[in-house]
Structure 1
Amino acid sequence: MSLITMSQKELNRLEAIQKIRARRLSVVQAAELLHISRSQVHRLLQAYDRAGADGLVSRKRGRPSNRRHTQDFRNHVLDLVRAHYPDFGPTFAREKLVERHGLGISKETLRQWMIESGLWTSRRERKRRIFQPRGRRDCFGELVQIDGSHHWWFEDRGPKCALLVYIDDATGKLLHLRFAKSENTFDYFQATKAYLQEWGKPIAFYSDKHGVFRTTHASEKDRSSGFTQFGRALYELNIDIICANTPQAKGRVERANLTLQDRLVKELRLRGISTIEAANTYVSEFIADFNARFGKEPYNPKDMHRPLAGHENLDGAMCHKEVRTVSQTLTLRYDKVLFILEPTELAKSVARQKVIVCDYPDGRLEIEHEGTTLPYRTFDTLRSVNRSEIVGNKRLDAVLAMVADMQAGRELKRSEKAPRRAGQTNHMFAIPDGSVSNGYQKRGQRPAPDRAAQP
C-alpha cells in the first residue's frame, strides 16, 4: 500500500507505531496521543508486524457500504425527482419525498445523487455572474448616481434614518447629501430641487428600482403619463432617469455609501450631532472635505449641467400632482377632503373640466387650471363634527359630544393612495391667502373644545 493512499489518521497511527518499535514512545503515550485505548494500540502493533503499513489501512477502503441504498431504490428516487421536482433543491425535494411518497433518505445522499445525474449543480460549480468594470463618464454632470442609504447615522444618539446621496459618475464627487426620516418622494423632491438650484440640470440621473423612481403600475402613480411623481417632475424639466438592473451597475454610489457609513458616522459622533436638522446643516462642510480627498478630475473638462429654461418652473415641477374633475357645483375631492372653489368667473368656466391638484413638499396645496391658481376653501369629511356648532338641543348635544370624543380618541386616517411624508403637519388646510380654514391649525390636530360656551 502506497503512503499516498493512506488517510491522515492512518499516517498518524503509522508514525506512532514506528516510534513504539524504535523505543521512542511507550504504548500508554501512543494511546493518549492517538485518543484510543491501549488494547487498540496492541492490535495495531500486531497488524503492523504482519503486513507492515498496509496492515494499518482500513479493510473497508474501496468497498461499498453495508448501509447503502440499492441501485433500484436510487433510480426510483431520481425518477420521482425528474417527474415532480426537477427545479427543487435537494433539501426541499427530500422533504417532499418524505411527505408525499414516504421515502426516507438523507438530504446529503440525495444531493450527491442529483449532482451525479445532472439534476443539481453544487455552489462551487455554479458560474458566478461576472460584473466587468465600467469606465467613468467623460464629462462632469453627464450622469449623476442617486441612492438612499438607511443606516444608524447617529448611532445610539438618535433614530435610524435615510441619507439621500447624489454623486457624479465622472469625478466621484459628492454633489448633494440630505438626511430624511425615510426614502420618499417628497424628500427626493426637496433634495433634487436643492441640487438643481446649486448645479443645474444633469443629462441623466442613475438610480435603482425603488418605487420613487420606477413603477410597474402606472395607473396607481400617475394616471396621465405613466411616470412616478418623481419621474414626471424630471420629465417636465427635460432630465432623464435610468434605472439600474443590479446594485453592481451603480457601484459608485454603493461604494460611496459604505465610505459614508464609516466616515460620516464618526464625524457626526465627534461633533455630537444627533438630529436630522443639525446633520443637514453640517453636510456641506463634509462634502467639501470628501471631494478634496477622493474627487477625481474628469477626462473632459466640459460641464454638462444645463441651466433651467425660461419656461421651466422648478417649484411647480417638484410637487405631487394629480388630476381631478371639477363638479357642476365647483367642488372636487382629494385625499378625502372636499375642496370648494370660490365662485369666480374662471372657476365657473372650469365646471366639469379637469384641474391639477399640486401638493408641495412644504405643505402648500394649490389647484391649477392652465397655469392659473384657483382659490378654494376646504370641507374635511373626517372632521365634520365641530363642538362649537352644537346648539341648545340637549339630546343632540349628548350624542354629538360622544361622537366628538370618539373621533378625538382615534387617529384620523387618510386615503392609502394619498401622498405621505414625514414632518409635514400643515398639509392641505392652508388656503392660498395664508389663513387657515375650518379653524384647524395643523393636520392631525383638533382644537380644544370650548366647554364654557356649551349650554
Structure 2
Amino acid sequence: MTIRKVDLNMTEQEKYEIIKKLVETNGNKKRAALKIGCTQRHINRLIQRYKKEGKSAFIHGNHGRKPAHTIEKEKKELIVDFYRTKYYGANFEHFTELLEKYEDVKVSPSVVRSVLMNEQIISPMAHRSTKKKLKKQLKAQKEAASSKKEIEQLQNKILEIEDAHPRRPRCANFGEMIQMDASEHLWFGDKKTQLHIAVDDSTGAIVGAYFDLQETLNGYYNVLSQILKSHGIPYMFFTDRRTVFEYNKKKSPSIEEDTFTQFGYACKQLGIEIETSSIPQAKGRVERIFRTLQSRLIIELRLNGITTIEQANIFLNSYIKEYNDAFALPVNNIKSVFEKQPDDEKINLTLAVLSSRKIDNGHCIRYENKYFKLLDTYGYPVYYYKGTSGMVIKSFNKELYFCVEEKVYVLEEIPTHERKSRNFDFDTPVEKPKKKYIPPMSHPWKQASFEKYMNKQAHRKEKTA
C-alpha cells in the first residue's frame, strides 16, 4: 500500500494541526472554533472528516482544478499576438473594444490587462504606479540576466513617462474656454501630419478637428469654422504662444504669413477673446486628449485604410462624435455660453486672409505670383492710378476681393494667353460682362481698421521681445 503525499497550503495546514490536536487531547471545541473562525457545528464536521480521511480531508475541493473563468492558453497567445502585430499602441480598454468589434473575441479589460502584463506589456495610459512597479521588475531581471542581448532588451523596456500636466478645475460653462493646439505625429501613412483640435474646457468635448501638412492658419480656420457652424461663437480661445499664434517674426516677408494677426483679427470681428501662454503644461486638457488620440485614433485610421489627408478629414467627422459620446461630459446640465451661430456667408467672409497690395502701372495687382484685374458689380474693369494701396481679401472658400478705401471689387485673374483670337476666331460671339456678387462694406474690411490692428500687434511684439 502506497501512502499519497498530501501538500497543504498555510491555512489548510493550520486547520489540520488544530483539529489533530483537538482529537488527540480531547480539547475544547469552542476554543478551536475561535481559532479557525467558524461555528462549533463546523468543528464537529471537520473532526468526522479527519477521522475518516486523515490529512487529505483539509485539502480544498478546488485544489488543482482550473477555475471556470480561466481562458485557454491558445486564447491568451492570440490576445498577445493581436496586440503586438495589429493593435499595437492601443490602451487596454480600447484594445478590448477592438477585439470584440473586429475579431469577435469577447474578454474583459481586466483579463486583457492580466494577460498583457504577464508579458510585460503596459498600456500607453498606464498609471505612474504601474510603470514604477514594472520598472522595478525589469531592473531585477536585468541584474539577474547573463547575456548582453537580454540585458540590452531589458534596458530598452525600462522607460518612465511622467505626466507633466497638472490638473485644475474645469470651467463652469460650455463654450467659456476653448483650448486649441496642434500635434505633429505619424497619424497615418508614412509622412507626419499636424492634427489641429479645439477642446471645450468644461466638458472635455472635441468641438473641432482638422488635419494639415503643417501647423497652419488654414488648419485653425477650418477648426474655427466647425465650431461656428456646430455650436456658435465661444467666449475665449486659450492657445500656446509658441505655436503659430505667436506674433510675426522679424524676417516674415508678408503680413499674410503672420498667423497671430490674421487669426486674431478674425476673432476680434466675432468678439472672441484670445489668451496665450508660453507654458504648454497650462493646456493640460488638450494635451491629455492628444495622448488619448495617439493611443486610439492612429489605430482606427490604420484599420480603416486611411492614407491621405482628404480621407483622414472625412473620417474625423464620424470619429469625433464617437469620441465625445465615450469620453466627454454630457452638456445637458451645463450652461452654454456660445453666442448665436453666424450664417455661412459671415463665416466665409470673416475667416479671410488679408494682404496689403498696391496697384501697378497696368491697373492690376500681383498676388500669389499671378496678376488680377479689378471688376465692379456689373463685371466691368475698374482703373486706379499706379501706387494706389488697397487690401486683398481671400475668403474662406478662396474667393478673392480687393478693398480700396470704402469700396470692394472682385478680382479676376488675367490669363497668360488670350483664350480666343480676335483675328481668327470670327464665329465666336463677343461675351458681355457678367454681374459679380460683391459683399457689402458692412463687413469690417476697411483698410484703416486692419492697419490699426496690425500696428497694435507690432507694438505688443516689441514689448514682449
Could you state the TM-score of these two structures normalised by the residue count of structure 1?
Answer: 0.49
